């Protein structure tokens, strides 16, 4: 079957198509309805079916591949490397599940996971799935304020953390930031479970804090039965930046999630049971959920979990792991490859990469020089793909599994099965033909594995994603795109104020709110500008109340962002200016700030009331160059 026939069948008869894909996972009780779309845009997949993510990732493999390695945990920060077979992973997940159950975690309860890339993070996620609890993993780069907002939204019964992680040889505190977050949060969790790695001294709160090693000893031989849950039961919440300061909790289901990942492993990533997949993404992001933990394990593969940078101990470390563990499928972000591109290319040919079939890159636009450099260096196909936290798996890819399709540099490919992608005019809702710029949308229903809703806020799900194009109820990706005559899409940038920094989405509004909290800030605007290494970086423009442009103010502002959002959100530069470009109605014209920062033509500036402001902005930028 050709790609076009395969994709068409998934759009024209989704029930038949996904009924076939559902055979890739275990159902404890068969579903009675493949798709219930009686209340658009809410899609209920595999209604009436009972299953469990943990069972599909571990238990069902025990009889046939119990002694096969399931998880390979590597830290080049602490020089530790450990493997777990499926049997060993089963044992550890049962122990973690027993600890959670003993501390009051039941089906439907939330557990917040704030951890570095260590084995216990995987145990925690899988243990929650085993119990039918809903995990919410928060990236360790987030600071206390951001963590507190997620605690208040998810209301976890238990929080699991480590006292510290490590990055580029430096200790990154977790427990102190968590303590501060709980202090800031209105909601107080009953228990905090701490994995002590011996990296950082910390204080414990009597009656609340539990030592993982001590609790682990109590449950060494415990076996916790699988909690069979409805296919539509939430599996997890993962927070993502929005256009308002309040983060959105992306809610994923169980059955649709499992089926979509199993199908994607087969038809997109071309991974085979028994092989090894290396996804270099933190579990705090959607890629880490889907393709470090759940996807490879559901598919009966070995998965590498990696703590460290691609440069430590040297720029050959990733390729050394490919050789050692015979990695067949690798997945990372273009930023990581751009980092490696600055190193000695000899590292690319130092190790035996004969096992590696495909290198997947996603998270941000892939530029042609980067793609060409890595392809020529490792002599392997480079597969671009495009998706979002909200979708949970690729919506566009260069097809390999159904039909091998040619690459087009700059394009993440064609629509993946299940996704009815269109380009619409944002003003009229008219569908656009080839080479016309429009908003990339998905015609409902969303396929299995995509978000069900925004946690606790169905109305926000509808208003944010489905009501942005006049007269059309379609899911907006908030990305501009064009499509060529062959059906390949090209992504042109965001339609909203979310920027993509090294594959991580950040809301500029959140950064603006941080900067505005400084007592001497009158006005602020944050824009994302192009960056050769990270894709985009945030830049801040600040008007002070007293007109001061003292350097120490910039330093104070940076510290506020670090403290409230984390270093990931820290602006690359902050310009202290006298005025911001505005329309007559007082709206800040951010696209003008972005154009000046990137040295581009300003385009239409007729809406800006005082155009002399632009010269002042340019002068402020020139002084810093």
Is it true that the peptide bond before 445 is cis, omega within 30 degrees of 0?
yes
pLDDT (0 to 100) of residue 169: 92
Q: So what's the pLDDT on residue 307? A: 96
Closest CA to 198 of 312, 112, 78, 79: 78
Q: Which of 337, 372, 290 is nearest to 502 (CA)?
A: 337
- What pLDDT was estimated at residue 606? 61
The whole-number pLDDT of residue 368 equals: 81
Residue with tokens 């390695």: 69
State the pLDDT at residue 524.
87
Burial of 443: CB neighbours in 10 Å, binned 0-12, 13-18, 19+: middle
Q: Quick check: helix, strand or coil at residue 332? A: strand
Q: What are phi and psi of 342, to 5 degrees?
A: -85, -5
Q: pLDDT value at position 503? A: 67
Tell me if 65 sits within 8 A of 276, measured CB to CB.
Answer: no
Domains and CATH numbers, the chain: 3-439 (3.40.50.12780), 498-624 (3.30.300.30)
Q: For tokens 């911001």, what's the residue?
A: 580
Supply angle C-alpha 493, 496, 499, rounded to 5. 60
* Partner residues linked to 359 by β-bridges: 330, 382
If the chain, 625 residues long, is cut into consecutive pieces of 10 residues, what is the mean pLDDT of each piece? 95 98 98 98 98 98 98 97 98 98 98 98 98 96 88 97 94 95 97 97 97 98 98 96 73 98 98 97 94 98 96 96 98 89 92 97 83 94 94 94 88 96 93 92 98 97 94 92 94 72 73 85 87 87 84 89 86 90 71 87 72 86 79
Residue for token digits 């039965």?
225
Residue 220 CB partners (closer than 8 Å, separation 6+): 95
- The pTM of this model reads 0.85
């Amino acid at each position: 079957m050709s790609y076009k026939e395969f994709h068409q069948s998934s759009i024209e008869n989704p029930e038949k198509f996904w009924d076939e894909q559902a055979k890739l996972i275990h159902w404890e009780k068969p579903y009675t309805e493949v798709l219930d779309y009686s209340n658009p845009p809410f899609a209920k997949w595999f209604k009436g079916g009972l299953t469990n993510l943990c069972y599909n990732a571990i238990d069902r493999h025990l009889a046939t591949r119990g002694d096969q390695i399931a998880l390979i945990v590597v830290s080049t920060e602490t020089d530790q490397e450990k493997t777990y077979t499926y049997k060993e992973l089963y044992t550890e997940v049962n122990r973690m599940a027993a600890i959670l159950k003993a501390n009051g975690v039941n089906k439907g309860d939330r557990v917040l996971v704030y951890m570095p890339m260590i084995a216990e993070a995987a145990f925690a996620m899988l243990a929650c799935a085993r119990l039918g609890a809903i995990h919410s993993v928060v990236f360790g780069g987030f600071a206390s304020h951001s963590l507190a907002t997620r605690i208040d939204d998810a209301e976890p019964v238990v929080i699991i953390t480590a006292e510290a992680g490590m990055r580029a040889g430096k200790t990154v505190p977790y427990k102190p930031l968590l303590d501060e977050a709980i202090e800031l949060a209105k909601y107080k969790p009953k228990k905090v479970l701490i994995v002590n790695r011996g990296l950082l001294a910390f204080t414990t709160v009597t009656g609340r804090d539990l030592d993982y090693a001590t609790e682990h000893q109590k449950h060494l031989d415990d076996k916790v039965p699988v909690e069979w849950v409805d296919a539509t039961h939430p599996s997890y919440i993962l927070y993502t930046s929005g256009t308002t300061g309040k983060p959105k909790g992306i809610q994923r289901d169980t059955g649709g999630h499992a089926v979509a990942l199993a199908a994607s492993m087969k038809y997109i990533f071309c991974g085979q049971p028994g092989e090894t997949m290396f996804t270099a993404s933190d579990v705090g992001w959607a890629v880490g959920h889907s393709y470090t933990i759940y996807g490879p394990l559901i598919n009966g593969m070995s998965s590498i979990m990696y703590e460290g940078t691609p440069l430590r101990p040297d720029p050959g470390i990733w390729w050394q792991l490919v050789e050692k563990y015979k990695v067949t499928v690798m997945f990372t972000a273009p930023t990581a490859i751009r980092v490696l591109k600055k190193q000695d290319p000899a590292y690319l040919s130092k190790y035996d990469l004969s096992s590696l079939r495909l290198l997947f890159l996603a998270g941000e636009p892939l530029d042609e020089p980067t793609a060409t450099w890595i392809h020529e260096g490792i002599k392997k196909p480079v597969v671009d793909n495009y998706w979002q936290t909200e979708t949970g798996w690729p919506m566009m890819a260069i097809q390999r599994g159904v039909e091998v399709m040619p690459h087009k540099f700059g394009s993440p490919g064609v629509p993946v099965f299940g996704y009815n992608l269109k380009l619409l005019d944002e003003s009229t809702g008219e569908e656009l033909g080839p080479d016309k710029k429009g908003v990339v949308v998905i015609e409902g229903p969303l396929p299995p594995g995509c978000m069900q809703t925004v946690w606790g806020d169905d109305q926000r799900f509808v208003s944010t994603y489905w009501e942005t194009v006049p007269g059309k109820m379609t899911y907006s990706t908030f990305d501009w795109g064009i499509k060529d005559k062959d059906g390949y899409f090209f992504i042109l940038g965001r339609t909203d104020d979310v920027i993509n920094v090294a594959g991580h989405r950040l809301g500029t509004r959140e950064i603006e709110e941080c900067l505005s909290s400084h007592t001497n800030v009158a006005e602020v605007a944050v824009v994302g500008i192009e960056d050769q290494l990270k894709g985009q970086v945030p830049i801040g423009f600040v008007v002070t109340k007293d007109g001061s442009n003292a350097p120490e103010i910039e330093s104070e502002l940076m510290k506020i962002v670090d403290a409230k959002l984390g270093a990931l959100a820290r602006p690359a530069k902050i310009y202290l200016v006298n005025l911001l470009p505005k329309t007559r109605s007082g709206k800040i014209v951010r696209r003008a700030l972005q154009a000046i920062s990137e040295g581009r033509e300003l385009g239409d500036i007729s809406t800006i009331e005082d155009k002399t402001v632009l010269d002042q902005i340019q002068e402020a930028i020139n002084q810093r160059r």
